[in-house]
Structure 1
Amino acid sequence: MPHTTTPDGVDIAYQVRGEGAAPPLVLLAGQANNHHWWDGVRDDFHAARSTITLDHRGTGRSGKPDEPYSTELFARDVIAVLDDLGVDRADVYGTSMGGRVAQQLAARHPDRVRALVLGCTSPGGPHAVERTAEVRRSLIQTRPGAARQALLDLMYTPAWQAANPGPYRTLGDPGMPAYAQRRHLVAGNQHDAWELLPGIGAPTLVVHGTDDLLNPTTNAPLLADRIPGARLHLIPGARHAYFEEFRAVASPLVLDFLTTAGPTPP
């Protein structure tokens, strides 16, 4: 598996799939997840373009240093991957914590992002709407299997779970060390891009499920209102993993937006 080494000496594993004349699409996974987060929908984009994923530091085959992580640092890891591939500009689609990384990427490295899609994510900081105490308690239950089922219920509707018994790719990297999980949690919790968002110049689409309790839906209009010219699309009935359960809606929506977002770089 190809990898690159960041300026601070961490190996970042990445994966390139598909072909196409359009700029590549960088897909950024959620907190404590590796590139397999996208396995269920990645092929939806390959008729038009190639896709690039990576294992966030702390996950998959990337390095796992026991030191502070941040969404800004994760964004710099993406830049290292793009540099290694010789990609000057790409489209970026980040969901959940990957959407927070995408905010940092578009704001701090505007010359590298042609168009931006932010899915089921949040600006972070004091302006964000946090999940309820009830949701937080459900995720730290000690009864065997209870916390996992609570997370499943936040990700997918009961009907989808009944029809799709797994394996589920969005419940975390099973090989991730406990210290790296904690580092990811802190990175997500400390994210605050509120002051950066008005500086994002890339055409932006904000997507969210109307029934998302893990990252409350109210965060979507906050992002769309804060980013100049951003478009907002809410998917009725969708929970946190809207991109997988509602792929028949979400993937064409994203592709259409990227197709019309602006000129393709030479």
Structure 2
Amino acid sequence: MDADLTISLLGQMRVLVAGSEAVLPASRKARALLAFLVATGRPHRRERLCELFWDLPDDPKASLRWALSKLRRAIGSPEESHIVADRERVFFDPGGVRIDIQDIRSALLDPERDIPLGTLEHMVRQLDDSFLDGLDDAGDEAFNAWLAAERADVDSGRVELLKRILAHPDTAPLAAGKWLALLRSIDPYTADALEQRTVSRPIAQSSEMSSYLPGKAGKNGVLERLARARAHAVRAQKIGFCDVPDGTRIAHATIGTGPPILKAANWLTHLEFDWASPIWGQCFADIAGNRSFIRYDERGCGLSDWEVQDLSFEAFVEDLEAVADTLGLQRFPLIGISQGCAVSIEYAARHPDRVSGLILISGYAAGWRLLATPEEQARRDAVIKLTELGWGTDNPAYRHIFSQTFMPDAAPADLDWFDEFQRRSTSPANAARFQEAFGHIDVRDRLAHVDVPTIVFHSREDQRIPLELGQALAAGIPNAEFVPLDSRNHILVDREPALDVCTRKIRGFLKKHGI
């Protein structure tokens, strides 16, 4: 038997033969027949298969023979086929075949099996795809009933995976809240029962959160983390709104207690989704451990107004000013990431009395319209056009253009999360407008006006903003400290060593300057 065969039954059915995708018959009935044989894993009478997929007055037996012939050619040679048939029965031999749903079910058979957290998260995301998507009504009512039962089993598998993720010692506190919310959307009774067991005593103050970061869970493990994650997600995050002079409504959120620290908005944010991100979750939890951590969605994305006339750098600065003024922030450190660095620099130059320190990560002083080569500008123009055409579609390829340049070394599951996060955070038109606006940023003449302690971080092999732009940023700000990071990611992701270096250096910077 051919051992190099992979079959995916989650989402639209796919078959890979020796790493290349097999061209399955266009007939939905033929593909449904293959899926049914693979998923059931047992012999079926020819008469029964004819009843499931073909109606009279057609010739069901001839249709079955035709379908089996087409399927054999698609997934193997006539001499070596996994489809075994005699005069009475048809059977799919699974020997040496990888089948995605079967791999997941096998992993869940042993409740004591130690499955890495990343594997669990990948499997639960696989189950987000509908079982045999697109094959509804490919057979008779009995086939549809079987398909519904299989999809119910998939939901049961998701529940079991989510319970294991929530019980895993490496699950970060903020991420636990996200997984609990997903569990509640599938099985609210199990989610409520699990949550009630975790909140059997009063929730501790959010300033204790840093004691329950990964690897520091204590003997109560998931109970402690889940209680704090739920408290942080639902109770501690306070979302409010403020108006910018042009009438735009800006959403802001505060997590934690203690001295304030404000993060400028960057591409892209959504206050309801990004707090539990597999990308920013660990960093957010660390910052919120002993401070009031304030974030906001800039105009055009997240919970802020999407329908806006002005989507410019000046407007981005005004958004930041409105949030700081509304919350009555007198003096605070300011964090900028990517284009948020330029916004933070402009704010610090305008309001030196209010900014106690600048933390700049993966930033630049001038946009691609000003510094990029003609070839690079043409490439970015093409990407903007693709964004306008495909951003809002179900095909993640358009958004993946950004994900891969932002985080080339991120895990596939994290890239998938970021793809979907971007789609839910803004419209196709705004995504294109943001890219154009970022290209015209220019604060090079403002760097010398920054008169606050500043630390600049930049990945050595940043695939989106080259290292030299980060170095130029630090060189232009008086007495700025520059910290290169060993990473290729523009946005640092949880679990990579560079993020640990960055958060440790941030803590040291704040302590050193007493801010």
Q: Please state which band the TM-score falls in when normalised by the shorter chain.
A: 0.7 to 0.9
Which residue in 2 is equivalent to 1:61? 303
Q: Are 1:33 and 1:173, in contact at CA under 8 Å, matched by a contact in 2?
A: no
Contact 1:89 1:114 in 2 (8 A): yes
Name the residue aligned to 2:468.
218
* Match 1:196 to one of 446, 470, 483: 446
| Post-superposition CA distance 1:82-126 (Å, at most 9, x none) | 221111111111101111211111112222211001111110158
Contact kept, 8 Å, 1:66 with 1:180, in 2: the verdict is: no
> Aligned in 2, Cα 1:183/1:145: closer, same or farther, shift over 3 Å?
closer
Q: Using the TM superposition, name which of 212-221 and 35-44 deviates more.
A: 35-44
TM superposition shift of 1:17:
0.2
The answer to which structure, 1 or 2, has the higher relative contact order (CA under 8 A, 6+ apart) is 1
Identify the range of structure 1 (197-206 vs 239-248) with the bigger mean alpha-carbon deviation: 239-248
Task: Give yes or no for the alignment of 1:3 onto 2:255.
Answer: no
Query: How does 1:102-117 map onto structure 2 within 5 Å?
Result: 102-117=344-359
CA distance in 2, matches of 1:11, 1:112: 23
SS in 2 for 1:53: strand
2:499 to 234, 244, 247: 247
Q: Structure 1 stretches of 5 or more lacking a match?
A: none
Aligned positions of 1:167-206 closer than 5 A:
167-168=417-418, 172=422, 174-206=424-456
What is the alpha-carbon distance in structure 2 between the residues aligned to residue 205 and residue 182 of structure 1?
31
Q: Deviation of residue 71 (structure 1)?
A: 2.3
Distance in 2 between residues matched to 1:63 and 1:33, nearest whole Å: 13
Q: Is the 8 A contact 1:135 1:214 kept in 2?
A: no
- Choose which of 54, 75, 81 in structure 1 pairs with 2:317: 75
Alignment of 1:3-152 (within 5 A): 3-20=241-258, 22=259, 24-35=260-271, 36-37=273-274, 39=277, 40=281, 41-124=283-366, 129-130=371-372, 133=376, 136=380, 139=383, 144-152=395-403
Give TM-score, length-normalised by structure 1.
Answer: 0.85
State whether residues 119 and 208 of structure 1, in contact with CA within 8 Å, keep that contact through their aligned partners in structure 2: yes
Report the equivalent of 1:153: 404
Higher helix share: 2
Residue 74 of structure 1 deviates from its aligned partner by 1.4
- Structure 1 residue ranges (4+ consecutive) displaced by more than 3 angstroms after TM superposition: 32-39, 125-132, 134-150, 162-166, 243-246
Does the C-alpha gap of structure 1 residues 102 and 88 become closer, same or farther in structure 2, counting only changes over 3 Å? same
What residue in structure 2 maps to residue 257 of structure 1?
509
- Secondary structure, counterpart of 2:333 in structure 1: strand
Q: Distance in 2 between matches of 1:221 and 1:42?
A: 25
Give secondary structure in 1 for the equivalent of 2:320.
Answer: helix
Structure with higher Rg: it is 2
What do the CA deviations read for 1:155-174 (whole angstroms, capped 9, x no partner)? 2244x314746522896352
Cα deviations across residues 41-100 of structure 1 (Å, max 9, x unaligned)? 211112231100001011111123431222232122112112211111111111011112
